Structure 1
Amino acid sequence: MTVGENDELLAERLATAAGAILLDLRTRGGLDGKALGKAGDEQANAMLCREIRTARPADALLSEEEKDNVARCGQSRVWIVDPLDGTREYGEGRDDWAVHVALAIDGIATVGAVALPGLGVTLTSGAPVALPPANQPLRMLVSRTRPAAEAVFVADKLGAELVAMGSAGAKAMAVVRGEADIYLHTGGQYEWDNCAPVAVAQAAGLHVSRVDGSPIRYNNPDTYLPDLLICRKELAGAVLRLAAEYSPAR
């Protein structure tokens, strides 16, 4: 624990440190694929949970890799972490995976840090980056393995290029970094999949919402979140309208 460390600096430090653990584990060799992903999840999670409980003992904690305690719902401050977002990509030796450390206050993603260890970068809500100009043509991020039909429909209507990428954190941060313009996801996620990315994206001045335009709330008894939109603000109206127009019968 660092004396006087605020929430933003704590999130950044822990996300970066977890990324270093994961890189070191992969570099050492001896494990690959699912076994490497499982070991990485366990080691990064152990450190994150230990450090958060030490630094913020009064706060609640929700982690993908820990048994949930719904008593957290009665607390204002809850740390929401994903020790390894993109386990498949990590195990395959790719760079499009991430570490998420977030703090939700009264249900709002308030503090976030997303480490992209394969790129040597950690993006945080405490130090938002300036958005570069939009891409021409527009670029829309989709899953490597299961592109959402809604996203394909919207991309076609906007004349946007589809860009396949791994983890939710990597995709969200690609919009923050200006490598893409739209991340529309309708395949379902959990709170740990997008709380930190949402906090970072909001701080960078991006539009963040559910696909129906409603706000995203965290620290719910049921941690499932059906959909997510992160995009440049000037595109939000068109994307939301087109998403509403989509029908599976088309």
Structure 2
Amino acid sequence: MLVPKDLDLLLDAARAAGDIARGYFNASPDVWEKSDGQGPVTEADLHVNRQLSADLQSARPNYGWLSEESEDSAARLSTEYQFIIDPIDGTRAFIEGSKDWAHSIAIAKGGVVTAAVIYLPMRDAMYTAALGQGAALNGTPINALPNKQIETATVLSSKPNINPKYWAGAVPPFKRTFRSSLAYRLALVAEGQFDGMLTLRPTWEWDVAAGALIVTEAGGGVSDQKGLTPVFNNPHPQINGMVAAGGIHSKLVAALA
């Protein structure tokens, strides 16, 4: 399913995106609030989006395009392959001067992600995966944690997800911590820095498409909050939350209401 050199294309595009974003970082970029409470966007997000669109769509003009910062078009639904892009995931972190933001770039076919890159320019961290070929950080293979004990687990999650209403019984006694970028959370799970991550609200595909492949290629499990395998390139590009983890994945899903 993987087109030869697709991953190389994403790597080159991510590096170019990083060069652009670094120029705006801690340089007081213009910031706007999106409509409908969708959060902030900066001139850096838009510049990166333009560059990614130019680089990727010129190289693969027959691929569909889904990006947080582009107007969506139903034309992508009739393409064989699709780019799924978040130019800067963790825009609030970017604005605040934190290094925890990322470029999230994926290619999907038939609802399945086939190539993925998550790049954190300020941390010099390039997470990559290709379907059936494993996952890596800066070229070195990575693996999710095998720990199966939820009681000793560390889980990346926002605080609202710990509300008892989301859980079938008592909230599991894992240690919760947080990173603002969903893509980075997924990458950290794939790297084995944390046991798992979860987000229980409707989740935009561009936030998690790349990370979902990187986690599964690192040997972890990825599902929506009901335990179903996520499908990408939906007409409305959201999925029902995401649970990603190493050995505790099935226990996390089973504990949810």
1:168 maps to a residue whose letter is L
Conserved 8 A contact 2:17-2:51: yes
What SS does the corresponding residue of 1:20 show, helix, strand or coil? helix
Change (3 A) 1:96 1:69: same
Change (3 A) 1:108 1:14: same
Give deviations 1:194-246, integer Å, cap 9, x for gaps. 111112112111101111111111111111222111100x2122111101xx3
State yes or no: 1:22 paired with 2:21.
yes
State yes or no: 1:188 paired with 2:188.
no
Tell me the CA shift for residue 16 of structure 1.
Answer: 2.5
State yes or no: 1:242 paired with 2:240.
no
CA distance in 2, matches of 1:204, 1:177: 7
What SS does the corresponding residue of 1:125 show, helix, strand or coil? strand
After the TM superposition, which residues 216-227 of structure 1 pair with which residues of structure 2 at under 5 Å, given as runs? 216-227=230-241
After the TM superposition, which residues 161-240 of structure 1 pair with which residues of structure 2 at under 5 Å, given as runs? 161-232=175-246, 234-240=247-253
| 1:31 matched residue in structure 2 | 29
CA distance in 2, matches of 1:238, 1:8: 32
Query: Which has more helix, going by share of residues?
Result: 1
User: TM-score by structure 1 length?
Assistant: 0.86
Alignment RMSD, CA only? 2.6
Deviation larger for 54-63 or 156-165: 156-165
Identical amino acids, percent of aligned pairs: 26
Across the two proteins, how many residue pairs are aligned to each other? 238
Conserved 8 A contact 2:221-2:245: yes
Deviation larger for 15-24 or 92-101: 15-24
| 1:111 matched residue in structure 2 | 115
After the TM superposition, which residues 22-171 of structure 1 pair with which residues of structure 2 at under 5 Å, given as runs? 22-27=21-26, 29-31=27-29, 37-126=41-130, 128=135, 129-131=141-143, 133=145, 137-143=152-158, 146-149=160-163, 157-171=171-185
CA distance in 1, matches of 2:220, 2:236: 26
Tell me the CA shift for residue 20 of structure 1.
Answer: 2.2
What SS does the corresponding residue of 2:18 show, helix, strand or coil? helix
Give deviations 1:150-196, integer Å, cap 9, x for gaps. 69859x75431100211101111111122211111102211111111
Change (3 A) 1:149 1:76: farther
Tell me the CA shift for residue 12 of structure 1.
Answer: 1.8
Conserved 8 A contact 2:143-2:191: yes
CA distance in 2, matches of 1:19, 1:151: 39
CA distance in 1, matches of 2:231, 2:163: 25
Conserved 8 A contact 2:195-2:245: yes
